Amino acid sequence: MSQEQSMGLRELLAKAELLKQGAEARLYRTRFLGKPVIVKERFPKRYRHPVLDEKLTHRRTVQELRAILRCRKAGIPAPVVYFVDYSSHCIFLEEIEDSCTVRDYIVSTHQQNEAQQLERLAERIGQILARMHDEDLIHGDLTTSNMLLKHTGGAERQLLLIDFGLSYISALPEDKGVDLYVLEKAFLSTHPNTEVLFERLLQSYTKASKKSEPVIKKLDEVRLRGRKRSMVG
């Protein structure tokens, strides 16, 4: 079951820089075999029953790994996985250098009033999500903090998706619709007055995806279902 971390890993993490401590995992920054990496450690949750905790943590780790590979195979940029320690649920991922989250980008660009840049970004996000959903991959936690923009020296920055812990495979338009709904809620609450921008995103999604019609239909249905919504039909 949940085993002691090996000495090497413990030492490595002790010396590493702790970037973030979330409810689910800790992110460390360090070097691994000459490359800058992020180590995502899904630590044991003591408030859970140990057997359940192990099963759930393992499942989340596995789902994340499968989703990353599925994305990359479909041409969707996601960090490369270098190594996985299944006994302590640590994933060693490529550190995406020279990047910022889409969240931070929107916040700063919004302030500068660069509407065109934001529209282009919304278009690109719609396209990348369309490609992901066409692969029947549900992200599960779409937020602008889970999207990165990386400087590559090219004309446009590279748009990457990260944090696939809640992802799964599904062809159902309902699941894809919910995926978009989660993003909509996160988007509108994090970035006030961006309804038009999000609409742009959806338009781009519709154009880029081959199976978008039923998905958007479900999205509309889910919107009616949400909190503080009247179900009087």
Active site residue 53: no
* Residue 86 C-alpha from the chain's centroid: 21
| Segment interacting with another protein, rule: CB under 8 A, options 44-52, 79-87, 196-204, 222-230 | 79-87
Range in contact with another protein (rule: CB under 8 A) among 63-71, 111-119, 141-149, 187-195 = 63-71
Q: Which residue among 11, 114, 156, 220 contacts another protein (CB under 8 A)?
A: 11
Contact flag: residue 32 with another protein (CB under 8 A): yes
Answer for which of 19, 27, 56, 69 binds another protein (CB under 8 A) is: 69
Rounded to a whole number of angstroms, the minimum distance from the CB of residue 48 to another protein is: 22
Catalytic residue of the set 85, 136, 141, 175:
141
Q: Which stretch binds another protein (CB under 8 A): 68-76, 113-121, 164-172, 189-197?
A: 68-76
Residues that bind another protein (CB under 8 A): 3, 6-9, 11-12, 30-35, 62, 65-66, 68-69, 72-77, 80-87, 92, 94, 158
Catalytic site positions: 141
